[in-house]
Amino acid sequence: MLEVKDISFGFSQHPVLRGISFSLDEGQILSVIGESGSGKSTLLKALYGLYDLDRGTIRWSDKKILGPAYNLVPGEEYIKYLAQDFDLMPYISVRENIGKHLSNFYPEEKANRISELLEIVELSEHAEKKPGELSGGQQQRVALARAMALEPELLLLDEPFSHIDSFRTSALRRNLFSFIRKKGITCVIASHDSVDALSFADKTLVMKNGEVIREDHPKKVYSEPETYYTASLFGEVNEIQVSQMFPELHTEKTIFAYANELQADETSPLKIRVKASYFEGGYYLIRGLHQGKTLFFNSPNPIPAEQIVAVRAPIDLVKKRLNAKD
Ligand code: ADP
Ligand code: MG
C-alpha cells in the first residue's frame, strides 16, 4: 500500500504541497488532476523521493520513501517515474533504450519483453531508429515503454500522453492500462486530461493550490463535483439556479450541469440567447447568454446567433445533484 501522511513541501519559502494525505492499495490506479501549477508534478516527484519534505511521511508497503538528504542516489529501485520531460539516450536505438534497465542475463526473455512493449506503444516498426529520428510523441512513447520494462511495483506517470497525437492516444491508453492491470502494477498518473481520470482510475485526487480538495471514485468526482473548479476540469460547465429550470421544485439552490447535460426543451423557462456555435466533431458546443451570464450546451446542429433556445437538464439529474449537495 502507498501511504501518504500529511506531507508538506515548498521551494524556499513558497509552499507547493500543503498537508496532503491519501492512501492507495496495491494494484490500484490513482489519477491526480488539477489546473496547471496546482502541484501535480511536485507531488509525483515527492513520491519518487526527489525532495526532502518539510513535514509528513510517505510509505510504500513497509518502506519509508526518503529524500535526497538520506538517499545518495534519489529514487527507489521498485519505483519508476516518468517525468513530464522524458530523457532518452540519443546514441542508442529505440529497442536499446527500452531494454536499458533489463538484464542481459536472459537474452531471450529480454527480447520478448522489448517486443511486447514495442507493440503496446505501437513502435515496432521504429525499433532500430535513434530517438533523434522520432517525433516528440514517439519519443514519449519510448520513455513510457522504458518505464514499464522492469515492471516496477509502483509506476509514477506525469502527463504521459502530453506529446502524443490525440488520434493515437486512445489505443495507447487502453494498451498501457491493460498492461498495468495485467501485471498488477500500482500506478499514479498526473494528468490534465479528464479521460485518464475517468476511464482508467480506481480513485481520483483533485488538487488545487497544493492541496487535495477531493479524493473519491472518478465517477463520483464527475457526477457530484461539489465545486466549480472540480467540475471545470471535465469540460465546459454551468452553475444554474434550479428554479430557472424547474420552479416547481421550490429551491433557491444552484447545481452544476455540464454542457452535454443541457438539452433543448421548448417547455423550459430557461431561455438562452445563442452567441456562437463551435464544431466539436460529433456535436456543436453552443455558447449563449442568460441574464448576462454565459451558458454552454451541446447541440447536434449549429444554431444561428441571436436565436433564443429553451434548455434544461433532465429532472432526475437535477434531483440527484441536489441530493448530493445536502
Ligand atoms: P503542476 O504539475 O500541477 O502543473 P507543479 O507541481 O509543476 O504543478 O508546480 C506547482 C508549483 O510549484 C508552481 O507554482 C510552480 O511554479 C512551483 N514550482 C515547481 N517546480 C519548482 C522549482 N523547481 N522551483 C520553484 N518553484 C517550483
Ligand atoms: Mg506538471
Cell of 212: 487535495
Average pLDDT score over the chain: 91
What pLDDT score does 326 carry?
Answer: 64
H-only helix segments in the chain: 40-48, 94-98, 107-120, 136-149, 166-182, 194-200, 218-223, 228-232, 242-245, 315-325
- CATH number for the domain formed by residue range(s) 2-230: 3.40.50.300
CATH class of 236-325: mainly beta
Alpha-carbon distance of 164 to 145, in angstroms, equals 14
Query: Higher model confidence: residue 265 or residue 71?
Result: 265
Q: Is the CB of 11 under 6 A from ligand 1?
A: yes
pLDDT in tens, 15-51: 999 999 999 999 999 999 999 999 999 999 999 998 9
Cα–ligand 1 centroid distance for 149 (angstroms): 28
Q: How many helices (H) and strands (E) does the chain have?
A: 10, 17
272 CB-near residues (< 8 Å, 6+ apart): 286, 288, 289, 290, 295, 297, 308, 309, 310, 311
Q: How confident is the model at residue 115 (pLDDT cuts 50, 70, 90)?
A: very high
Cα–ligand 2 centroid distance for 166 (angstroms): 19
Distances (CA, A) of 293 to 112, 121, 240, 274, 289: 58, 45, 10, 12, 5
Strands 29-34 and 237-241, sheet pairing: unpaired
> What residue segments make up the domains of the chain, in order of their start?
2-230, 236-325
pLDDT in tens, 226-262: 999 999 999 999 999 999 999 999 999 999 999 999 9
pTM tops 0.75, yes or no: yes
Q: How confident is the model at residue 199 (pLDDT cuts 50, 70, 90)?
A: confident
Amino acid at 186: T
> Which mutation among 7, 8, 16 tests ligand 1's pocket best, with the greatest number of atoms within 8 A of CB?
16
Count of residues in the chain: 326
Q: How confident is the model at residue 192 (pLDDT cuts 50, 70, 90)?
A: confident
Q: What percent of the chain has pLDDT over 70?
A: 98
pLDDT at residue 195 tops 90:
no
Cα–ligand 1 centroid distance for 138 (angstroms): 26
Collapsing DSSP states into helix, strand and coil, what is residue 123? coil
Q: Is the CB of 210 under 6 A from ligand 1?
A: no
What pLDDT score does 89 carry?
Answer: 85
Q: Whose CA is nearest to atom 23 of ligand 1?
A: 11
Collapsing DSSP states into helix, strand and coil, what is residue 195? helix
Q: Whose CA is nearest to atom 25 of ligand 1?
A: 11
What pLDDT score does 287 carry?
Answer: 97
pLDDT in tens, 150-187: 889 999 999 988 888 877 788 888 999 999 999 999 99
Distances (CA, A) of 285 to 110, 258, 300, 316: 49, 11, 9, 23
Q: Closest Cα to residue 311, out of 321, 324, 299, 323? A: 299
Nearest-atom index, ligand 1, CA of 14: 26
